[in-house]
Chain A
Amino acid sequence: MSESLMLRIKRVPTVVSNFQKEEAEEGARRSGGCGRNCLQKCCIQGAKLPLFAFKKLNKIVSEKEVLGNENNEPPVAFLDSLLLGEWEDRMQRGLFRYDVTACETKVIPGEYGFIAQLNEGRHLKKRPTEFRVDEVLQPFDVNKFNFTKVGQEEVLFQFESSEDGDVQFFPSAPIDVDNSPSVVAINVSPIEYGHVLLIPRILECLPQRIDRESFLLALYMAIEAGNPWFRLGYNSLGAFATINHLHFQAYYLAVQFPIEKAPTKKITTLDSGVKIYELVNYPVRGLLFEGGNTVQDLSNTVSDACISLQDNNIPYNVLISDCGKRIFLLPQCYAEKQALGEVSPELLDTQVNPAVWEISGHMVLKRKKDYEEASEENAWRLLAEVSLSEARFEEVKALIFEAISCRDKGSENDAQDLLEDANANNSLEEVDAINKGSHCAMVSGNQECLVRQ
């Protein structure tokens, strides 16, 4: 969409740091030593934080090899322990704006089990600010809030790859200003317990855009945590990221997300072993990536897909689930619709901004009425607005496959062939069924097993 008209929406940004101020206040504050113990030049000299060095796995570890002693349930992994411990510590120190565990939450009865939470404290009763939603790539703006401005107490630890290949932990390591570390910080308005922000190479002040290295870092975090209930998410600009400083989010919720239950249709397997599926019978159209001969293969494929979306100005969200084994990529257009006035006022009133967690099926509602009346139908209706249309999704898919297949090693097929072959494998019946529209019934035949209890 190339319009000379700039698209904007107004929303109240979520406060993720106690040091995040409104833009008006930002302007007023001048430079100089801030005395806030932040991460900028004024305070960072001599600062120390715990440092977790993760092991760079190459191979996807088989279930048999998964570390476990004779008891064979892998104990809570080290990263998991560290993150939970540090988070609990900050909770007890009162750094969060509210106790998220005191927020009522439930699974909405229905086939998919959408999760609704009543959280009145998350959203401020403040003036909404304007966000530009028609540019997925925007340059970093030092005048706006960014994560170098957070207080050091909000940072839990540095997260880097290990030099010698083994997991290492340093309870108090100096921050290497010249070689910017990646860090994990708390989100002071948590959606769930353990809600953190992963900020790659924080001091480099990268704008919110995915690159191969950063995505790989996020994937390693999911793998290292070894907890299927610890998921990472990413929102591009235009897909409800509020801060234009590269970051991923993560938190714990020990129930399945609806998106994880959605049936999928296999599109293809790349030479690198990465398997690509399309979501079927889910309100938001999207892709699922799994497998890969190495972790890098999976990571690079998804990164390349994201980069192609960025370069084509298509907002999107990413969910890393199942300890990094399954990655969902969801292009969306809700913000655009909102800016063009195409969203019903009813939906707008809920003030749900469908970012990665909402799209995955976890809805945070600020009004009691919405929480009490939450239903699978309502959730579905909202998310259906977020989805690209079928036709648009096909275009976007083609774009993605173009980008991926260029890099797929030794692949003779070009993007078109990959898609065509995939369709040829399915029976005509299925192709018709898929084309019939977003609410297609369960498709039978030779495809992903759809056995449900």
Chain B
Amino acid sequence: MDSYLALIEQSFNTSYSIWAREALDELPECFTITDPCISGHPIIFASSAFLKMSGYSKDEVIGRNGRIFQGPETNRRSVMEIREAIREERALQISLLNYRKDGTPFWMLFHISPVFAKEDGRVIHFVAVQVPILSRQRLNGLSLSEEGSGFKEIVFGSCRREVCSMDMCRVSALDSDSRGLNTEEPCEASEAEKRRAASAINNILSVLTQYSESTGKLVCGKRCSSPGATLISSSLNISLGRIKQSFVLTDPHLPDMPIVYASDAFLKLTGYARDEVLGRNCRFLSGVETDSSVLEKIRESIQAEQACTVRILNYRKNKSTFWNLLHISPVRNATGKIAYYVGVQIEEGFQSQESHGLNPEMRQLSCVGAVRVAVRSTSIGAGSSKS
């Protein structure tokens, strides 16, 4: 848990420095910043205005995914649209019903926008602004005062205990009938609210850009260059982040077939940090006592574009060894051609808590399957960036 929060803090501080938080909190708007490269696509920053509006404390929000603010009446299609925009790394403005901590729903104009690293054009964060929509009050022809007073009567007429234990069905029956519930009617934001959201995004981006200069990791609101060859898109990152097994993705089209993705479980297993493995060939996991004939077998399989399973002696960062039941398989993308190789590691003898009753071999295969779905789908989009 600690290390996860540390990752989150680091995500913010590395890009913008700790001083940026103060500057961001001076902005009056409600907004969050999320990191698609961390498993779970969590919130790494929430403005004080946002916390106030939603009723949550900072600790309840940092590290969590934005879906916690959704609820039963939230429009599913809108949720899908947001998911798609994130996947396609583009901005989106959409009305959405969210829920506060106390469970009360409210309409807001949701505006999400990617933050690009200036150097290589990849998406490092998303900024999401929430502008409450106040313009429309819907009661389906029933006058506010009429219903309001009726409701108030019941409340004042009963003693406190009765009110608290009142059957919710009765209470809602006082409201307009089920077809007229406020929350069901969609809410169009006014032009002013839309402008407000857009300018909030700009303000936030300019603070982020400014502070990124101090860390040397420049960012900008638009993609300035095409994504670097060694990297995978944030959408593939997000998809792969759901997979809990230890695995890496390597790119056979790049010189020396480097690792382009490593799961958290892989890092935990081998003891390395992410930036110590990305861009390197897997051979650093082998050592003096690793059987070279096994390495040869792996080479041959890759050459033949075949899957293989081997038992290989691997070395952690701290030089300790473990037997790795390694399964390697080519993974194709939407073009039908091989885009990556996936290597799934099982530490022999290790009892995983999350075994779920699936044996290690089955878990290994399911990891391969999940990677196949992710890679194939990420590259399918007409306008999506490199998978």
Contact = CB atoms under 8 A, between A and B. Distances in A.
Given A70-B63, A326-B76, A85 B42 contact: no
B122 interface: no
A74 to B, nearest CB: 8
A142 B84 CA distance: 45
Interface in A122-139: none
A65 B259 CA distance: 35
Which of B4, B41, B362, B378 has the most C-beta atoms of chain A within 10 angstroms of its own C-beta? B362
Interface in B321-374: 331-332, 334-336, 354, 356-359, 362-366, 368-370, 372-374
A58 B132 CA distance: 33
A84 B356 CA distance: 14
Contacts of A229: 373, 377
Given A101-B332, A326-B76, A269 B178 contact: yes
B241 interface: yes
A252 B376 CA distance: 10
B362 A78 contact: no
Contacts of B138: 446
Interface stretch (A8-16, A147-155, A259-267, A344-352): A259-267
A147 B332 CA distance: 31
A271 B71 CA distance: 20
Contacts of A105: 334, 336, 376, 380
B362 A62 contact: no
A269 B184 contact: yes
Given A105-B376, A106-B334, A252-B373, A85 B365 contact: yes
B17 interface: no
A228 B84 CA distance: 12
A19 interface: no
Nearest to B84: A256
Contacts of A71: 4, 39-40, 42, 63
Given A84-B373, A113-B382, A75 B244 contact: yes
B185 interface: yes
A26 interface: no
A421 B376 contact: no
A291 B73 CA distance: 8
Q: Which range holds the interface residue count of chain A?
A: 35 or more
Given A88-B365, A169-B356, A76 B242 contact: yes
A260 B358 contact: no
A105 B356 CA distance: 34
B359 A171 contact: yes
Contacts of A255: 84, 87, 377, 380-381
A105 B358 CA distance: 32
Interface in B70-91: 70-72, 74-78, 80-81, 83-85, 87, 90-91
A170 B359 CA distance: 11
B366 A106 contact: no
Interface string B39-50: 111100000000
A291 B368 CA distance: 34
A5 interface: no
A452 B94 CA distance: 7
Given A72-B63, A107-B380, A261-B81, A453 B336 contact: no
B186 interface: yes
Contacts of B75: 448-449
A405 to B, nearest CB: 14
Contacts of A31: none
B233 interface: no
Given A71-B40, A101-B332, A453-B93, A76 B366 contact: yes
A177 interface: no
A63 B103 CA distance: 12
A64 B357 CA distance: 26
B9 interface: no
Contacts of A171: 357-359
Interface in A166-192: 169-171, 192
A73 B358 contact: no
Given A76-B366, A81-B363, A102-B336, A291 B72 contact: yes
28 contacts: A60-B72, A62-B72, A68-B65, A70-B63, A73-B65, A74-B242, A76-B242, A80-B370, A81-B356, A81-B362, A81-B370, A85-B362, A86-B362, A88-B368, A88-B369, A89-B362, A104-B335, A106-B334, A106-B380, A107-B380, A113-B382, A256-B80, A260-B77, A264-B77, A269-B184, A425-B140, A425-B179, A449-B187
Interface of B: 1, 4, 39-42, 63-65, 67-72, 74-78, 80-81, 83-85, 87, 90-95, 138, 140, 178-179, 184-189, 239, 241-244, 307, 331-332, 334-336, 354, 356-359, 362-366, 368-370, 372-374, 376-378, 380-383
Given A266-B184, A453-B81, 14 more contacts: A62-B71, A70-B4, A71-B42, A78-B358, A81-B363, A84-B365, A85-B366, A87-B369, A254-B374, A261-B80, A326-B76, A447-B186, A448-B75, A449-B75
Interface of A: 60, 62-64, 66, 68, 70-76, 78, 80-89, 92, 99, 101-109, 113, 115, 169-171, 192-194, 228-229, 252-256, 260-261, 264, 266, 268-269, 271, 273, 275, 290-291, 322, 325-326, 421-422, 425, 446-449, 451-453
4 shortest interchain CB distances as A-B pairs: A84-B369, A254-B377, A85-B366, A73-B40
